[in-house]
C-alpha cells in the first residue's frame, strides 16, 4: 500500500513540478532579456492581474461557461436522439449522415457571423455556436456505442422474447453510456470554443469579449488573464463531466 | 419434445448444417460433440429459435419454434457468461423475470444464490467474480424463469478442469431435481459421456450426424464412474467416431 500511495503522489507531483519549472523559465527569460510587457508579460505579473480582476473575470467567464453549457446540453440531447434513430434505421442514417458531415466540416468561425446575424448579439447566438460544434461527437459516438452491443447478449434478449424497448433500455443504452460519455467529454472543450468564437464575432459580455476588448486596447496582461480564465472554464467543465462519468459508469473502472 | 427433420443451414454460400434429423425426448440430457467450427453452435441456435433452418423443419411439443420462444421455453447458456456489467449478480439473475414481467419473490432469488453457491455475492458486480462464479450466475439466470429446456453452448469450455468438474456435478444435480430437457454442446468427449443420456457426434462442416451413442451409465453419477471401464469404453468409441468424421 505504501508504494501505491507514493506512486500516486509522484503521479500528482510530476506535472506540477514541470509546470512550475516552465513558469520559472518563462519568468527568468522575461527578466533576463527584458522582454517588454506588451509582447510577453511575466507569469507573476499575469497572476497579480488575475487576482486583481478576479471578480470581473469570474463574471465574464461565468457567462461563457453558461453559454457553452447550454449549447452542450442542446447538442448532446439532439445528438443522442439522432444517434438512436440512426441505430434503428439504416435509411435514416444514410439520409442524414452527409448533413452531419457537412456540419462538421464547416468551420465555426466562418459560420459565426451568420449566427450572430440570425440570433443577435446576446447569449443565444453563442449557445447555437457552442451547440453547433459539439453536436458531431455525440452523434458519432452514440451511434457507435449503440452498435457495440455484444451479439451474445442480443441473442440472450431475443431468446427471452424481449421487446425492442427492453432491448434498448436494458441493453443497448447502458452499453452505449461509456461511448456517450467520451463524446460528452470531447464536447466540453468544443462547446467552450464555440461560445468564445461567437463572442468574438459580436457580444458585450463573456470571456471572448474580454480578450477581444483588451486586444483593442493593447492591454496584454489582461488578455493573458482572459486566456487563462478561458482555459480554466474548459478544465472546470471537463472536470465536472468526468466526475459525473465516474458516478454513472462505475462498471468500466473495474472491468477486466 | 424436439422433432428435427432434415434440416440444412447455410450462411450465404457456406453450407454449415447438412441434413440433420434427430428426436429428443422430454427430460433428456443430450450432448452434441464435433470438431470445432463444425456448426454445433449454429445447430443449437436453430433449436432455440434464434436461427431458422434454410431447409427442413424443427417442431417442439408438436408446435413451432416461434411459439416456443414466445412461451419462453428456452434458457440459454453461452460459452461466455454474457453478464451485464452494470447489474449486480442478483440483478443479472433476475433479468429474465424483468423482461417477462414477472417479479420473483426476494426469498426465491436468495434461494437461487444459495443453490449456486453465490450467497453473499448478490450485491457484487460481475467484474468482481471469478470465471467459474460468472458462469454459475449465467446458469442461474437461465433457470430463474423455469424454462422447460436448457440450451448450453460449451458453458464450461473456458474454465479450468477442477471448476469444470464441480459445475458438471452441480448441473447434473439440477437436472435430476428439475427434470428439464438439456441440450449441451461441448468439445470434451469425457464431459459429454459423464453428463448425458445420449451423445450426438457431428462431422466436419457441413455438419451431419456421424453417430449417436446411448450412455447407459446409471444416475446419479459421481466422479467415481470416471474410473469405470464402461465409462472408458464410451469415450474410446466416441473418439473413434470423431476421428472418422
Q: Is the pLDDT of residue A113 over 80?
A: yes
Q: Which of A155, A156, A254 sits opposite B127 (nearest CB)?
A: A254
ipTM of the complex: 0.90
Taking the CB of residue A149, how many other CB atoms lie within 10 A of it?
Answer: 18
Query: Is the CB of residue B92 less than 8 Å from the CB of residue B84?
Result: yes
Three cell numbers at B14? 457456406
A153 and B96 within 8 Å at the Cβ level: the answer is no
Q: Domain with B29 in it: what CATH number? A: 3.40.50.300
pLDDT digits (tens, 9 = 90+) for A175-185: 999 999 999 99
B50 and B104, same domain (yes or no): no
Three cell numbers at A189? 472543450
Q: Is the pLDDT of residue A3 over 80?
A: no
The H or E element spanning position B183 is strand B181-185
pLDDT digits (tens, 9 = 90+) for B48-83: 999 999 999 999 988 888 889 989 999 999 989 999
Confidence (pLDDT) at B117: 83
Sheet holding B74-77, edge to edge: B74-77, B149-153, B181-185, B29-33, B198-202, B209-214
Q: Is the pLDDT of residue A186 over 70?
A: yes
Q: Is the pLDDT of residue B28 over 90?
A: yes
Query: Is the CB of residue B148 less than 8 Å from the CB of residue B48?
Result: no
CA distance A5 to chain B (A): 23
Cα A41 from Cα A165, distance rounded (Å): 59
A156 and B49 within 8 Å at the Cβ level: the answer is no
A57-A58-A64-A68 Cα dihedral, nearest 10 degrees: 140
Query: Is the CB of residue B45 less than 8 Å from the CB of residue A132?
Result: no
* Mean pLDDT of all residues in A193-205: 92
Write out the residue range of the structural domain in which residue B16 sits: 2-73+148-244
Interface test with B, best of A157, A160, A246, A256 (most B CBs within 10 A): A160
Taking the alpha carbons of A224, A226, A232, A237 in that order, is the dihedral positive or negative?
A: negative
Q: Is the pLDDT of residue A253 over 60?
A: no
Domain count, chain B: 2
pLDDT digits (tens, 9 = 90+) for B99-158: 998 876 777 777 778 878 888 898 999 999 988 899 989 999 998 888 999 999 999 988
B142 and B205, same domain (yes or no): no
Is A46-254 a CATH 1.10.3720.10 domain? Answer: yes
- Could you give the angle at the alpha carbon of B179 between the alpha carbons of B175 and B182, nearest 5°? 60
B161 and B66, same domain (yes or no): yes
Domain boundaries, chain A: 1-35, 46-254
Three cell numbers at B49? 429459435
Task: Please check whether residue B78 lies inside any domain of the structure.
Answer: no
Q: Which of A152, A166, A255 sits opposite B82 (nearest CB)?
A: A152
Three cell numbers at B182? 438439456
Three cell numbers at A182? 467520451
B98 and B178, same domain (yes or no): no
Q: Which residues of B touch A (CB under 8 A)?
A: 45, 48-50, 69-70, 72, 74-76, 78, 80, 82, 84-86, 95-96, 98-100, 125, 127-128, 145
Q: Which residues of A touch B (CB under 8 A)?
A: 150, 152-153, 155-162, 166, 170-171, 174, 177, 249-252, 254-256
A160 and B100 within 8 Å at the Cβ level: the answer is yes
Sheet holding B14-24, edge to edge: B14-24, B2-11, B55-60
A251 and B50 within 8 Å at the Cβ level: the answer is no
Helix ranges restricted to H, chain B: 40-47, 65-70, 89-100, 106-115, 131-143, 161-178, 189-195, 229-244
Three cell numbers at B208? 451431419
Task: Please check whether residue B210 lies inside any domain of the structure.
Answer: yes
What is this structure's pTM? 0.83
Q: How confident is the model at residue A82 (pLDDT cuts 50, 70, 90)?
A: very high
Amino acid at each position: 500500500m505504501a508504494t501505491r500511495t507514493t506512486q500516486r503522489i509522484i503521479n500528482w507531483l510530476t506535472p506540477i513540478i514541470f509546470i512550475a519549472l516552465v513558469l520559472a523559465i518563462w519568468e527568468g527569460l522575461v527578466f533576463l532579456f527584458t522582454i517588454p510587457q506588451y509582447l510577453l508579460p511575466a507569469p507573476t505579473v499575469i497572476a497579480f492581474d488575475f487576482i486583481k480582476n478576479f471578480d470581473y473575470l469570474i463574471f465574464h467567464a461565468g457567462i461563457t461557461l453558461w453559454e457553452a453549457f447550454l449549447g452542450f446540453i442542446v447538442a448532446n440531447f439532439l445528438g443522442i436522439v439522432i444517434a438512436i434513430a440512426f441505430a434503428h434505421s439504416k435509411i435514416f442514417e444514410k439520409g442524414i449522415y452527409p448533413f452531419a458531415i457537412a456540419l462538421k466540416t464547416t468551420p465555426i468561425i466562418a459560420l459565426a457571423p451568420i449566427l450572430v446575424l440570425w440570433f443577435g448579439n446576446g447569449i443565444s447566438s453563442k449557445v447555437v455556436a457552442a451547440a453547433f460544434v459539439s453536436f458531431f461527437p455525440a452523434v458519432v459516438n452514440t451511434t457507435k456505442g449503440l452498435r457495440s452491443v455484444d451479439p451474445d447478449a442480443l441473442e440472450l434478449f431475443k431468446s427471452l422474447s424481449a421487446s425492442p424497448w427492453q432491448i434498448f433500455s436494458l441493453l443497448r443504452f447502458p452499453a452505449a453510456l461509456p461511448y456517450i460519455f467520451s463524446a460528452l467529454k470531447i464536447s466540453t472543450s468544443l462547446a467552450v470554443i464555440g461560445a468564445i468564437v461567437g463572442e468574438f464575432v459580436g457580444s458585450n459580455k463573456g470571456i471572448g469579449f474580454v480578450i477581444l476588448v483588451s486586444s483593442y486596447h493593447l492591454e496584454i496582461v489582461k488578455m493573458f488573464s482572459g486566456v487563462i480564465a478561458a482555459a480554466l472554464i474548459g478544465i472546470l467543465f471537463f472536470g465536472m463531466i468526468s466526475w459525473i462519468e465516474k458516478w454513472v459508469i462505475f462498471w468500466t473502472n473495474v472491468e477486466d | 419434445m424436439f422433432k428435427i427433420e432434415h434440416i440444412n443451414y447455410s450462411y450465404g454460400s457456406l453450407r454449415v448444417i447438412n441434413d440433420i434429423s434427430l428426436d429428443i425426448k422430454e427430460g433428456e440430457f443430450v450432448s452434441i460433440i464435433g470438431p470445432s467450427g463444425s456448426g454445433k453452435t449454429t445447430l443449437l441456435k436453430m433449436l432455440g429459435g434464434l436461427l431458422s433452418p434454410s431447409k427442413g423443419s424443427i417442431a417442439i411439443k408438436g408446435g413451432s419454434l416461434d411459439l416456443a420462444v414466445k412461451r419462453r421455453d428456452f434458457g440459454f447458456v453461452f460459452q461466455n457468461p454474457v453478464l451485464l456489467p452494470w447489474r449486480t449478480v442478483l440483478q443479472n439473475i433476475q433479468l429474465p423475470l424483468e423482461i417477462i414481467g414477472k417479479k420473483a419473490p426476494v426469498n426465491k432469488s436468495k434461494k437461487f444464490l444459495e443453490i449456486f453457491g453465490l450467497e453473499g455475492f448478490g450485491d457484487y458486480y460481475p467484474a468482481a467474480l471469478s470465471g467459474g462464479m460468472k458462469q454459475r450466475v449465467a446458469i442461474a439466470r437461465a433457470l430463474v424463469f423455469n424454462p422447460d429446456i436448457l440450451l448450453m453452448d460449451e458453458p464450461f469450455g473456458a474454465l479450468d478442469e477442477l471448476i469444470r468438474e464441480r459445475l458438471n456435478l452441480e448441473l447434473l444435480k439440477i437436472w435430476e431435481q428439475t427434470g428439464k430437457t438439456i441440450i449441451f454442446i461441448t468439445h470434451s468427449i469425457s464431459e459429454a459421456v459423464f453428463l448425458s443420456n445420449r451423445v450426438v457426434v457431428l462431422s466436419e462442416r457441413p455438419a451431419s450426424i456421424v453417430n449417436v451413442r446411448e450412455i447407459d451409465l446409471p444416475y446419479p453419477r459421481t466422479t467415481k464412474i470416471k474410473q469405470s471401464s464402461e465409462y472408458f469404453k464410451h469415450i474410446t468409441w466416441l473418439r473413434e467416431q470423431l476421428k472418422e468424421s
